[in-house]
Amino acid sequence: MSAYRELERRFARIAKLRDAAGVLHWDQSVMMPLGGVAARAEQLATLQGIIHELLTAADMPALLADAAAPELDDWQAANLALMRRAHGHAAAVPGDLVEAFSRAVTGCEAVWRTARQNADFAMLLPSFAEVLRLVREIAAAKGAALGLTPYDALLDQHDPGRRSEEVDRLFATLEAFLPDLLQRVMERQRRRPPPLGLTGRFGEAAQRTLGEQLMRALGFDFHHGRLDSSQHPFTGGVPEDVRITTRYAEDDFTTGLMAVLHETGHALYERGLPAAWRYQPVGNHAGMTAHESQSLIVEMQACRGRAFVDFLAPLAQRTFGGEGPAWRAENLYRLYTKVEPGYIRVDADEVTYPAHVILRYQLEKAMIFGDLQAPDLPGAWNEGMVRLLAIRPPNDREGCLQDIHWPDGGFGYFPTYTLGAMSAAQLFEAAERAAPELEGSIGRGDFGPLTGWLRANVHAQGARLDSRALIARATGRPLDPAVFRRHLERRYLAE
């Protein structure tokens, strides 16, 4: 066991360095002045370089080979397999490329913040083109070393074991039924009187108060986390100190609230990971499809249902001083579940959301394989929006500049959003079978039955299983698009 114990020691050190990088990245997105970008780029590049050196140490292959032993239990064996996987990804890429990529994405993200505000893709283009060049180089190196296509090598970073062939099949099923479903839902909406709009200004302080109240109801522990604002909502920090962010719109409080609920789902997953395996690969999450399933089971499955709106309505009325029929639960629910094609992914309804992800998936594959060049991204984006949702963004802020992922180097991530939405529907259905009182408890603001089931069946499993095996184990079946379709039809055509 000595080789295995040495690997545990080394990977614990790597995990703590990654934690430090995560907090630095949160600070960059939330607190850091623009003048700190160059210094932060060097700090993060140095940390990534040290992590890479530790993962690719000369004796690491021998340790990984010697660590296999009959004394390893199931968790230790899974941990060793994940160590080998991490080493394989790291060893495929030279250290100088790792550091160059880290510097490039730190700088590009900073430029993106200004370019997005100004709707100026030309401002972003030089730094984005460099990030894309480096991503292609990394993808090619990993693909060659791991026996994968370049895109699958990137996808594997975010969703271990997932391949684009499976994603293509699942997304083709969605593309086959979603356009007709969208038309049926919108026709149903047209036949009914429109919901009453909520007028007035919703101050950021009041929105934050409501968000924190709902976070507490969900089980968020403010002794181990915090809520802040950023240009793009995200979850960062570490399991003991989870940092979530949102962005507020003073003319629509649901925008910021939905982001808060989404990120709280991520935070609950991080807090629920197995503490006994903290700082080991097997104690991490099971990939980003699993992670997005946890944010979306909160935001979409639990918190867009009618039971939740019955709980939300009086809280919103008190927070914002709302009066009259527009603030009643029935009207809020209709506003909450309105389906309409829009430009912004994070604000999209459940029915149109997959189209946003499918577009990004198609575009990022084309960029990685060289079929789409960086300067041509805005035009390809706009044409894709016309094709998939019959709308054309009026500017690049509402088009290809809206997301942080590509400037931040996150290629291969986008498919996990819709895979996560499908997984969330399947997990929620399984949770309802296990706890028939689930809807009633949510209507009372009691999320214990849901979070308890998720703790046992998802969070506590760590990375012992990949997302595909995790969903199959928790629900009794592989990921099935029919479950997602059934959920959408029940919510948007039957209610």
Of 159, 184, 219, the residue that ends a domain is 159
Q: What is the DSSP letter of 246?
A: E
Q: Are residues 122 and 28 in the same domain?
A: yes
Of 130, 159, 188, the residue that ends a domain is 159
Active site (annotated) includes residue 330: no
Q: Please give the angle made by the CA atoms of 84, 88 and 91, to the nearest 5 degrees.
A: 130
Q: 478 in helix, strand or coil?
A: coil
List % helix, strand, coil for the chain (3-state, nearest 5): 70, 5, 25
E-assigned strand segments in 424-495:
none
Of 159, 185, 203, the residue that ends a domain is 159
Q: Supply the pLDDT for residue 495.
A: 64
The residue segments making up the domain with residue 9 are 2-159
Instruction: State how far the Cα of 14 lies from the Cα of 205, in Å rounded to an integer.
Output: 39
Q: What is the DSSP letter of 191?
A: T
Tokens coding 79? 């941990």
Indicate the length of the chain as a whole number: 495
Q: Are residues 87 and 35 in the same domain?
A: yes
Model pTM score: 0.95
Q: Supply the pLDDT for residue 177.
A: 96
Q: Are residues 189 and 89 in the same domain?
A: no
Q: Crossing angle, helix 253-272 and helix 448-457, to 10 degrees?
A: 40
Tokens coding 142? 């990993």
Q: Are residues 234 and 331 in the same domain?
A: yes
**From 99, 130, 263, 350, active-site residue:** 263
Q: Are residues 6 and 133 in the same domain?
A: yes
Kindly give the residue spans of alpha helices, DSSP state H, lying in 237-303.
Answer: 253-272, 288-296
Q: Are residues 146 and 290 in the same domain?
A: no
Q: Are residues 405 and 272 in the same domain?
A: yes
CB count in 10 Å sphere of residue 96? 10
Instruction: State how far the Cα of 321 lies from the Cα of 35, in Å rounded to an integer.
Output: 41
Q: Are residues 188 and 329 in the same domain?
A: yes
Q: Supply the pLDDT for residue 200.
A: 86
CB 227 within 8 A of CB 215: yes
Q: 436 in helix, strand or coil?
A: coil
Of 70, 109, 85, 147, the C-alpha closest to 406 is: 109
CB 139 within 8 A of CB 78: no
Of 270, 259, 192, the C-alpha closest to 228 is: 259
Q: Are residues 376 and 428 in the same domain?
A: yes
Residue at 276: amino acid letter: A
pLDDT average per 10 residues of sequence, the chain (495 residues): 96 98 94 94 96 98 94 96 97 96 96 96 98 98 98 97 97 96 96 92 96 97 96 93 96 94 98 97 98 97 96 97 95 95 94 97 98 98 97 98 96 97 98 95 97 98 97 97 97 88
Q: Are residues 121 and 219 in the same domain?
A: no
